[in-house]
Structure 1
Amino acid sequence: MKIKIAIDGFAATGKSTQAKKIAKYYGFKHIDSGAMYRAVTYFAISNGWLNNKINKNKILENLEKINISFQDFNNNQHTILNNVDIEENIRKMDVADKVSQIAIIPEIRYFLLQKQRLLAQNNSIVMDGRDIGTVVFPNAEYKFFLTANEEERVKRRYDELRNQNNIVDFKSVLKNLKNRDSQDTSRSISPMEPANDAIIIDTSNKSIEFIFNKIISFINL
């Protein structure tokens, strides 16, 4: 039996960190669905279709040219776009600032939905994102939704970006998170919300190990 564990939640609540740890603990495949949206965003920016304004038609015309996969390097998952490692590129602020413009387009959501389900077809997986438990895998055996207070989330994202050598300030990070929250929760297609049967966990002021142990305490494998 192939097991699916869905971890949804707001940006900078620790979704990917926990998903990686849980996948490693159980020997499952980890899929970062957010990285897939970032990959499409980076593809659009690189081709000049998402700079000052979005060229939706051009992006949609070229969707089938996008091939996204994941590879492990030194125990870290890297996102591969058309055989090129773009992991470092998709974590930069220019991509983060524009990814919600991509995520609200229904055709792109459907395109990535099919890819997400295909990646999980032959594997037990842990997938993190914003609509995994509600749309991608509504029948997942285990569903979690992570939250955290705004101050904590801004600090986490600020530290993460600084560690990746991005030049950022608290105000720009706060603005980015507020914009993403608004767009993610208000979009008409697959808005971010906890699944009815998801376990909601507040990660504010909690250690990574504490949250990890809390999550696996609900998993009976």
Structure 2
Amino acid sequence: MPPGFNIAIDGPAGSGKSTVARKLAQKLGLLYVDTGAMYRAVTYLVLKSGIDPADESAVTAFTQGLRFSLVRFLPKGVVDLWCNGEEVTPYLREPEVSRRVAEIAALRGVREHLVRCQRLFARKGGVVMEGRDIGTVVLPDSEYKFFLTAAPDVRLARREKELLADGRHFTKEELRREMNYRDEMDLKREIAPLKPASDAVVIDCTSLTVEEVVAKMLRICRGV
């Protein structure tokens, strides 16, 4: 592996990219960066401030003043997200945040500012960054790029498990509607739509465990 390398991991909700990216970063001793959490942080802070999420100019102006930092706890590699001196990690999965994040993430001004912040995290190399446009937009020069996919029912089950772990309960139909809405927003948005980079390794995780996916990535990164 080259020194100071970066790894980009993209994929839709429920594909397992967050869990895989976190474990891969831990094994390689790299910094894990969850860009989806940054969009959730903007959404949480916009709602907290009382700004109408539909007011694009107000949301964009507010976002320009946000500065992000990451705090990593070893040895497990847990990373907490802070914004303007406030730890925001505990609030990122609130129901209203989940309902509005796709809407805010589609705004050009929001994406442009967050892309700049994400590139700052990776400027010296040594990050595993995951999201929906990392290999195509944020870090197109990453040494390693992966795009994770999985069958819809598998993605749904994984998402349900994540929410239950957070103490949140949805019916399967509610969860399916939320996931379908997010998929449509991600795939069809004008700015940085969800798609694999032309040189990304696409991995179908439908029948693979997290450990198997991580092992496959490690083999690719190590050239074995």
User: Same fold per TM (> 0.5)?
Assistant: yes
Aligned equivalents of 1:77, 1:164: Cα separation in 2: 17
SS at match of 1:62: helix
Aligned length: 219
Query: Does residue 159 of the first structure (1) align with residue 161 of the second (2)?
Result: yes
Aligned equivalents of 1:48, 1:64: Cα separation in 2: 16
Deviation at 1:164, TM superposition (A): 0.7
In structure 1, the gaps of 5 or more residues are: none
- Matched with 1:200 is 202
Deviation at 1:21, TM superposition (A): 1.1
- Post-superposition Cα deviations, 1:42-75, rounded to whole Å, max 9, x if no partner, equal 111111224xx62222212222331222223473
Checking the alignment, whether the CA contact within 8 Å between 1:38 and 1:96 is kept in structure 2 is yes
- 1:1-221 maps to which residues of 2 (within 5 A)? 1-50=3-52, 54-73=54-73, 75=76, 76-220=78-222
Checking the alignment, whether the CA contact within 8 Å between 1:79 and 1:85 is kept in structure 2 is yes
Checking the alignment, whether the CA contact within 8 Å between 1:29 and 1:123 is kept in structure 2 is no
TM-score by length of 1: 0.93
Aligned equivalents of 2:190, 2:46: Cα separation in 1: 22
TM-score by length of 2: 0.92
- Post-superposition Cα deviations, 1:165-218, rounded to whole Å, max 9, x if no partner, equal 113221111111101110101111111100111111111132111111111111
Deviation at 1:93, TM superposition (A): 2.7
Letter in 2 for 1:99: V
Aligned equivalents of 1:139, 1:65: Cα separation in 2: 27
SS at match of 1:31: strand
Checking the alignment, whether the CA contact within 8 Å between 1:39 and 1:68 is kept in structure 2 is no
Aligned equivalents of 1:173, 1:59: Cα separation in 2: 27
- Post-superposition Cα deviations, 1:71-106, rounded to whole Å, max 9, x if no partner, equal 234732222122222212112332122111111111
Aligned equivalents of 2:95, 2:163: Cα separation in 1: 8
In structure 2, the gaps of 5 or more residues are: none
**Displaced runs of 4 or more, over 4 A:** none
SS at match of 1:58: helix
Percent identity at matched positions?
A: 35
SS at match of 1:70: strand
Letter in 1 for 2:54: I
Letter in 2 for 1:68: F
SS at match of 1:113: helix
